[in-house]
Structure 1
Amino acid sequence: MTTLSQNLLDLSDFAWQRLRQRVEGLTDDEYFWEPFDGCWSVRKTAEGYVADGSRLPPAPAPFTTVAWRITHLVDILQAERTATWFGHTATEEPPPVPGSASEALAALDRAYEIWRGRLAALSQDDLDRAMGPIAGPYGDNDGTSFALHIIDELIHHGAEVGTVRDFYRGVRAEDPFPAALAGDLTPADRPALLAEAAAAQRWDVVRHLADRGFGVNERTSGGMTAAHLAAGTGELDTLRFLIDRGADLSLKDTQYDVDVPGWAEFFEQQEVADYLTARTRAGSGA
């Protein structure tokens, strides 16, 4: 039977992996993007970068940039209270506010490493025990409720970061496929473009991109290959084409950790599942 501690770790890790995939490739322009006047962000000062804020929360709350949201999440995950409220000791020093996208991702990785280590170290007694006076008005709450609160912060701020990236891309939307088909965009420029075409269900484009040397085993930012996506949507003809071009059906996506046949089964694409099963049997001589 799975323990409460392991369930909390699994939930936290799942939320973390989803966020980490959503921020992969983050640029400085996205990091600092302010779509409206009055956004809260992080600002450069003589002492370094500082996050906007107010002792009295404004109402309504201002729109916050990716920079502000990641900085806030870094602070939450490795705050001293994520150790002391459980009765443990915090020894890590708080990092400076990240002044670039690369610094932000490094800080985010480090913050999650710290939080996960603290979460993994909790005993059942830590989770069951009331936190006491150190937690102020939350002193009567047990450690489990606080652990769930931090995981909820990871989930909802992670969703906000992903949404702002979507907004950023939406206002700068461009169709990369014509440029690739014309030879103006190469596999070196955008290695995962064939997988992106599969994610957009542009199956005709998938074939043309393969002809132009785009890799069939590259992954989308969500961690899926074109073969995963073809199997999951029941696109059997395209899946056959990808297999002929060298698609590796044993590769597992990075979100669900499932191979290509597993996607066909999970998404109830019976024709695809039957084809892959028959292909495996034929290959094994059974």
Structure 2
Amino acid sequence: MKPDSRAPGRVGALTTAPDRSPGGVALGALGATLSWSTGLRSFERLRGRLERTNFHGRTVSLRGGIGVAVGAVAAGARVGSCAAGPSAPGSSRVAVAALVATMSAGAAGLVDDMDAGAHDGGAPAKGLAGHLGALARGRVTTGVIKIAVIGSGALVSGVLLARHRSAVGARGPCATAVDAATSAVDVAAWANVLNLLDLRPGRALKAAAALSAPLLADRRPSAEAARILAAGVLGTAVAALPEDLMEDTMLGDTGSNALGALVGAALAAHPGRAVRTAAALAGTALILTSERVSFTRVIARTPALALLDSLGRRPS
């Protein structure tokens, strides 16, 4: 059969165009995560710098967290021309918002991981209150840097997402400002929450998957951006979970902050104001609660959570 001359180049376009479906984004994020995590294992000079001792006293590698951060960024980049189509007003802002959120969170986490507390002084600061208290005393910890960088990235992302929604459906400046603030809190809060959960193998990855999976059920065209970003979260988590559970790798701040920012971006990209607001309130509440309550103790005392938390984990 001869090629259809009425559609020149169509076959080539179909085979080379990037797949921005949820499945395609999930596979792309999975591939990016695995390739970076596996590839870093071959760099002898980096191996020692990436090794840490976990709560069991086992040696684990931060290469898994770097792979997760790359997967999160890759997922953000692939959202591209979704959200009402490439010609919709401001559609590219969704991709930029996701990229800014994941890149700033991953970069800030990497700085913290590589510093390993060297600049925190004799008594390392812990928690939001601890780092802000250190800043009040004139000491700039890497935690303070994280708050500034992740917060700035979240704010930029929130503004971009709010402006995108304003371009699609006209709204007043006050409504746009509230939307931007809520979306920024979504990104910043969940970047922090996943970091707080990353105290046991697989815990943060399971939480990220559980938070993102429900977003895939919303089939409305206006929810396509949230659906695609959620698929990216799932692809990244699936890629990292086996080695994380077996305690070969760990997320560290690099991976947990970047993946949390992607979760937050997916929630912030959802068209439902109630969803965005609930996510912002829940994330903020968990951060404030963590200042006084140990998540690990709560999980250990709750049978259902303890079972889910330990599922697939390497025996101690």
> Which TM-score tier does this pair reach, normalised by the shorter chain?
under 0.3
Larger radius of gyration: 1
Higher RCO structure, 1 or 2 (CA under 8 Å, sep 6+): 2
TM-score (norm 2): 0.22
TM-score (norm 1): 0.23
